[in-house]
Amino acid sequence: MERHHITALCMLIVIAVVCTLAGREFLKMYEPDEIIPGPGVTKVDNLSSYSGDLAGTISDTKVYVLDSGKPGATALVLGGTHPNEPAGFMTAVVLTEHAFVREGRVIVIPQVCSSGFTCTDPLEGYPQSYSIQTKSKIRSFRFGARGSNPLTEWPDPLVFLQYPSGQQLSGNEVRNLNRSYPGRPDGTVTERVAYAVMQLIERENVDIAFDLHEAAPEIPIINAIVTHEKGKDAAASALFTLESENLQFALEMSPPNFHGLSHREWGDRSAVFPYLMETSNPIQGRLRGVTNEALVVQGIDRKYFEAAQIGSMRITYDLEGEPLARRVGRHLRGLQALLGAYMESTPEKRIVVDSVPEYEEILARGLGDFLH
């Protein structure tokens, strides 16, 4: 064997080793996150129960029902509409593992855009996962992409024509669940997931629904509650409650002509009161520096601190950052305040959720204390 053959052989071996290791990392994203139903969960179902052809695909996802057995309102909580926004997902996990419903019923879908948890967005340098220390062990959760996995409906069109409005959006928004409502049973995979959620809202007679999100600290709609016009009185009442607890939320109205969004289409097409909540997530921001697991969990980024110092931020940002525990605490407290306000406006439909950590409690004890 000549010398250049030996060199080529060595290079092939190195490439094979690198590809094998990278492939193993890539395939790890297909291993489902462990979510451990708590004592409040009375039934575990699949989203495919509401749109059959999702069954057996990476777009099907678990639906956890917490039913008090007492009459009252039904609430729906969606986490993971955008799998790169971990506070929405983790809030749904805390509810699934820790909450107990005393009156009415709560339906939780922690990973509604399930296929988006099997990949990350290209060119962002996102970590594949992050870890949280609980009382008993270290648990790892996947950090996903903004939309559905491109492999589920490749290729993206150049222009996405939103159904049924015909509104034109950039091509990659075709995989954005929060542009795909009301969806359709024979549409793209993302539209079929949206259709299944709409079917669930109808069939389960959902009264109030939450879509939990995060956004970059520099965007205008941050630390906010977005409401459909029919839910604005309850939202305003919840805001007063939250203000009295020193928790500032901006109230944003759902734009009537911006189609495909949960707070618009759920509200227009069903009896539900829809709310979308946003927390501030530095890892999504354009100013961020080192992009790693610590930024997901601790939310500390020096560049955002500097931006806040020169008055370029709409929210306060100090050296404590925006830790995941605080973001989950805000979502949980916002959700409880909205449920309380909803009950005030419709006293005949009660919904009482216990064992939800208070904002200060989750800050003091940490997120892991409320997970198995």
Contacting range for Zn ion; rule: CB under 5 A; set: 41-49, 207-215, 217-225, 363-371: 207-215
Q: Which amino acid belongs to residue 4?
A: H
Stretch that binds Zn ion, among 74-82, 89-97, 335-343, 346-354 (CB under 5 A): 74-82
For the CB of residue 78, give the shortest distance to Zn ion in the complex, in Å: 11
Q: Which is nearer to Zn ion, 98 or 288 (CB)?
A: 288
Could you tell me the smallest distance in angstroms from the CB atom of residue 176 to Zn ion?
9
Distance in Å, CB of 116 to Zn ion, minimum: 11
Smallest distance, Zn ion to C-beta of residue 61, A: 17
Shortest Cβ 82–Zn ion spacing (Å): 4
What's the Cα-to-Cα distance from 304 to each of 245, 277, 321, rounded to whole Å?
Answer: 25, 21, 8
10 Å CB burial of residue 14 (0-12, 13-18, 19+) is: exposed
Binding segment (CB under 5 A) for Zn ion, from list 42-50, 211-219, 314-322, 340-348: 211-219
CB of 33 to Zn ion, least distance (A): 18
Using CB under 5 A, which of the segments 53-61, 149-157, 210-218, 357-365 binds Zn ion? 210-218
82 binds Zn ion per the rule CB under 5 A? yes
* Angle, in degrees to the nearest 10, between helices 262-269 and 189-203: 50
Write down the least CB distance from residue 213 to Zn ion, Å: 3
The contacts of residue 57 (CB under 8 Å, 6+ apart) are 115, 152, 189
Answer yes or no whether residue 331 interacts with Zn ion by CB under 5 A: no
Quick one: which of 213, 228, 259, 288 contacts Zn ion (CB under 5 A)?
213
In terms of CB distance, is 85 or 265 closer to Zn ion? 85
Nearest in space to 47 (alpha carbons), one of 122, 135, 108: 108
C-alpha distances (whole Å) from 53 to each of 46, 195, 204, 245 are: 12, 11, 19, 45
221 vs 287 by CB, closer to Zn ion: 221
Interaction of residue 98 with Zn ion, rule CB under 5 A: no
* Residue with smaller CB distance to Zn ion, 38 or 274: 274
Query: For Zn ion, how many residues bind (rule: CB under 5 A)?
Result: 3
SS3 state at 277: strand
Give the binding range for Zn ion (CB under 5 A) out of 198-206, 209-217, 249-257, 355-363: 209-217
CB 153 within 8 Å of CB 174: yes
Q: Long-range CB contacts (< 8 A, 24+ apart) of 315-324? A: 315/217, 315/222, 315/223, 315/280, 317/217, 317/280, 321/282, 322/217, 322/279, 322/280, 322/281, 322/282, 323/297, 323/298, 323/299, 324/86, 324/87, 324/90, 324/132, 324/296, 324/297, 324/298, 324/299, 324/367
Q: Which residues bind Zn ion (CB under 5 A)?
A: 82, 85, 213
